[in-house]
Structure 1
Amino acid sequence: MFKGEPSSGVDFFNLLMENEEFNKEIGKLTLAAGRLEAELIRYYKRKDINENLSRFTLGKLIEFGKNNDLLERNLVYALENTCKQRNYITHNIYALFTELIDETVLPKNDLIDTDVLTYTDKAWETRNNLINLADLISKY
């Protein structure tokens, strides 16, 4: 499939859309993020928080825990960074390749088709961060 050929912009985005491994990792990442959200809500319930948190996004759940001193500082740092990674890879890839946002987390310039693997690895890494944090929260 890969030929080592240059690719950029929407053409590279389309390579991502067509790549089964990348899409599989994005799907697993999405499920892992949902699990982390649920584990945070379960943790808050164990702390006798009776607020309806079911509609909170991951970012709002983290902010809630931070603002109510329910999460340790180092955990907040890890959660916030992982949330940023998740948001970037799930919400900003197309915007990156259409020049709506600047390059930050993932490269957008001087890409070749094999860089799909770089994006897949980033999705895998983010998924594992989400899983590890969910595991940790579940033990609190």
Structure 2
Amino acid sequence: MKYTGKPTKGVKFYNLLYESERFCCELGKVTLASGKLEAELILYFKKHKIKDNFKKATLGKLISIGEKNNLINENFSMVLRNILIQRNELTHNIYALFIDLKDDSILEKDNLLDSDVHTYIEFIWQVRENINDVAEIVREKTVTI
């Protein structure tokens, strides 16, 4: 789609995101990367003999398990919590943001142009890269145990 720099807001901007194959592809990759990170954290905890119910463990729960068992230091916890916020905003709250159901967000919703779809794509690409990088760090730590 060709964007012209036209002011766009609300559901109209959401629809542009929805219609963007690149944005939706990156969102799918964020979802896959999040699953990879969760699985790598579970493997890491199991290697450290942590006994917990991991079947329905969310990323937030996994972070708490790591903190509780002193397997995640304060800096790494902050990184993981930042990823959690970004992932949740993108996967759970984006529509709510554009219908004004959600006021505070890490995502911009005001003064948008249709071409800001590209900005959202770049942001979601960076989130995916960060999640994959962190998952690899956890994987490397697990391998060395």
When normalised by structure 1's length, the TM-score is 0.96
Q: Which residue of 2 aligns with 1:62?
A: 63
Q: Which residue of 2 aligns with 1:20?
A: 21
- Divergent runs of 4+, >6 A: none
Matched residue type, 2:128: R
Q: Which residue of 2 aligns with 1:30?
A: 31
CA root-mean-square deviation:
1.0
Deviation, 1:42, is 0.3
The unaligned stretches of length 5 or more in structure 1 are none
Q: Which residue of 2 aligns with 1:89?
A: 90
Q: Percent identity?
A: 46
Kept after mapping to 1: 8 A contact 2:42/2:62? yes
Matched residue type, 1:112: L
The unaligned stretches of length 5 or more in structure 2 are none
Kept after mapping to 2: 8 A contact 1:32/1:127? yes
Deviation, 1:50, is 2.7
Residue deviations 1:9-64, cap 9 Å, x none? 00100000000110010011100000000000000010011322121011110111
Kept after mapping to 1: 8 A contact 2:26/2:125? yes
Kept after mapping to 1: 8 A contact 2:89/2:105? no
